[in-house]
Structure 1
Amino acid sequence: MGYSVALVNKKGETIKAKDKFLEQGANYVVGGTHFLEFSITYNYALLFKKVFPKEQGLYWLQGKTIKQTKKKLEKAISLLNAASESSNYWEATEGNARKALISLYKMAKLAPKKARWDID
């Protein structure tokens, strides 16, 4: 189980980007995908609550536009320790959580600024 994150248009449809999205999360498409979707393990939930409002954690992004969240996402990335990244994706380290947020940031760069985050 984990977070299923997508960038959607005003109709709630997952955005299909011109360029492929190649990041690897809990699940990924070999060779990448044009659909702006990303899966992140719940193992990082407590770490996300350190850098986003505690009650919401990563869900703080829900329904907001890329434009509304860009600076907070950048700040969250900067607050997590990159040196603690582990080769074990499932390990709840600041470095692994940071890597997941960087993947979301890269995904956001492929979408229109009015795209909204949809998190299940």
Structure 2
Amino acid sequence: MSYDIRLCDPVTHEALQTDVPHDMRGGTYAMGGTTGLWLNVTYNYGKHYYRVLGDKGIRTIYGMTGAESIPVFEAAAAKLSDEVSDDYWEATEGNAKRPLLQLAAMARMRPDGVWDGD
């Protein structure tokens, strides 16, 4: 199970695209990169997201604009250690931190977009 998180056009609600492919990877990803502003994040990290983001966990950002979410991502990431594992699925704090920083990077690309997911 996982969260499919995407940055959407505020009017059409279609997932936004970039001009140049990026290679941000989650539990699933596009080989060779993608222009879509979406990220798949394992539920395994949920315990960390509930701790650093509150009762809604990562879903806290749903409905926020990219611009509104950047300080939320940065504050949550700052509360997590850099302890990473080569196993993406292992719920270390560092593994949970990486998607937050990737989502913040996407938000910087399109601060006008609105987050949606699941």
Q: Secondary structure at the match of 2:32?
A: coil
TM-score (ref. length: structure 1)? 0.93
Identity of aligned residues (%): 32
Cα distance in structure 2, aligned partners of 1:37 and 1:79: 23
Q: Contact 1:19–1:110 at 8 Å: present in 2 too?
A: no
Aligned residues: 117
Q: Which runs of 5+ in 2 are unaligned?
A: none
Aligned pair 1:101/2:100, yes or no?
A: yes
- Superposition CA RMSD, Å: 0.9
Cα distance in structure 2, aligned partners of 1:13 and 1:78: 31
Q: Secondary structure at the match of 2:98?
A: helix
Cα distance in structure 1, aligned partners of 2:50 and 2:44: 12
Q: Secondary structure at the match of 1:3?
A: strand
Q: In the alignment, which residue of structure 2 is the partner of 1:19?
A: 20
Q: Which runs of 5+ in 1 are unaligned?
A: none
- Taking the TM superposition and a 5 Å limit, the aligned residue runs for 1:1-120 are 1-10=1-10, 11-53=12-54, 55-82=55-82, 84-111=83-110, 113-120=111-118
Give the letter for the 2:114 counterpart: R
